[in-house]
Structure 1
């Protein structure tokens, strides 16, 4: 039985500009996306028993065909001459529906893993084309580099030389609907005029461009997000921002000790918190 054990990293958005609403109902975005080493763990096995089985066992994450990882495996199995069974076991470490891209990363990791196990040898570009049909963030995790993401997130340009940082992620355990956030967003057009630098000398330079248009919707509805941002800055963070549509907040630190202390303080509030590194 062929088997792979893989890690699926989370992401944060250093920048999230919503530029315009598209005729297809999606929004054109401009984002700077950064992977972090907070990872789900995924075991993928080929078996003699036909069909695809996905097991997670985490509340809020469906097993079986309702899981995006199942759809990723199904998309590649359809391209294979062989039709083995595929068993996928997901151990969630990334908070669910948190703005950290956990489901998209799981799907991207399954695409890459099944591609290897089935010997399909699909190139990265083709995997990203399949990935965007599953979710807008999936291509970024296949791309595997810090990136400027445009369109709905599928147009990716690598950003080299972004300084490494310690990141504290804090999730207050409140559910936020991404669809609700976008439905209530008032577009101003100002984001489109902002120029984003492509070179950063230090962590402070990264903090200077932190911005998320979706905060204007999410923070008024969930004031705890603003509270977390203020507490992280008071704990010595150089900058803090909501990731994606929330509710997770992240903060950048230059030193590990300060990041670890801040995470411990946040966990004392009964919130999920972790000090991690950028990838």
Structure 2
């Protein structure tokens, strides 16, 4: 039996530079992990099957799940003939812009590597994982990093200064494809290079002042609930507030736990799904 932790991520920046010939957007992003985790366990089985069980009714347990696809790709790549039982204890909200599915897939790559003692290094796993999704390579590395290309080119950064994060997810679902489809790439000045320097220098005030997400304007225009929640986060005392990924989850930064508790309680009055977590990085 082998166990893996899969932490959620937030974007500190998301710069969209241009639309590529392959249909994807060229991006620069600074991302970091937070202390909100799914937990996965892995156990060998003899019949060559991949069997997934989970505590969340809306998480598929067949090939629609990235965890299944990751296990399948590892079995094909490394010629594993036996199968695996995988249990996913889901804590990260789904379809929230927090890369929960990608974090679980990354845990599956690491978990299969450890369970079968394959000896693959982190660069090898990250490159392989890019075949399944743009956020998975970052989740393989974890910590804090700048991601480029489609998100698959990873440059690790220093651990950011200590901070608390309050996450709030409104009760709506956002289509990532729709948001990117309505985007004007290159419209805003990129912020990821300056953010990388602020993170590496441990400058908390610079980090919160440089936060930027090119998708936020589009999502707020299409989903007023996100715009309203951002305004509430600002008015309730966050040092800075922003949307993660394509949304709908928004997050607020504070430095002290007392402030985080106050912000958490205030946001509980605005929506049901609120989390108070530490910045891991």
Return the TM-score normalized by structure 1: 0.94
- Equivalent position SS for 2:189: helix
Deviation of residue 10 (structure 1)? Answer: 0.2
Match of 2:65 in 1: 67
| Residues 12 and 33, structure 1, Cα contact 8 Å, conserved in 2 | yes
Number of the residue aligned with 1:204: 205
The equivalent residue for 1:76 is 74
Answer yes or no: is the 8 Å Cα contact 1:54–1:87 preserved in 2: yes
1:150 to 125, 148, 151: 148
* C-alpha contact (below 8 Å) 2:16/2:214 kept by paired residues: yes
Kindly state the Cα deviation for residue 189 of structure 1 after the two structures are TM-superposed. Answer: 4.0
Q: Distance in 2 between matches of 1:190 and 1:222?
A: 21
Task: State the number of aligned residues.
Answer: 277
The answer for unaligned runs of 5 or more in structure 1 is none
Match of 1:274 in 2: 275
Which whole-Å CA distance do the structure 1 matches of 2:184 and 2:18 have between them?
10
CA contact (8 A) 1:54 1:67 kept: no
Alpha carbons of structure 1 residues 82 and 150: separation in structure 2 relative to 1, 3 Å:
closer
- 8 Å contact kept, 2:144–2:159: no
Shift of 1:242: 0.3
| Structure 2 gaps, min length 5 | none
Post-superposition shift, 1:234? 2.0
Instruction: Kindly indicate whether the alpha-carbon contact (under 8 Å) linking 1:34 and 1:145 is maintained by their aligned counterparts in 2.
Output: yes
Aligned to 1:120: 118
Which residue number in structure 2 is paired with residue 250 of structure 1? 251
Contact 1:55 1:64 in 2 (8 A): no
Identify the residue that residue 264 of structure 1 maps to in structure 2.
265
The equivalent position to 1:85 in structure 2, one of 83, 86, 105, is 83
Residues in 2 aligned to 1:23 and 1:256: alpha-carbon distance in whole angstroms:
46
TM value normalised by structure 2: 0.93
Q: Deviations over 1:1-41 (max 9, x none)?
A: xx122210000000001000000000000111010010011
RMSD: 1.7
Q: Contact (CA 8 Å) 1:147, 1:159: kept in 2 or not?
A: yes
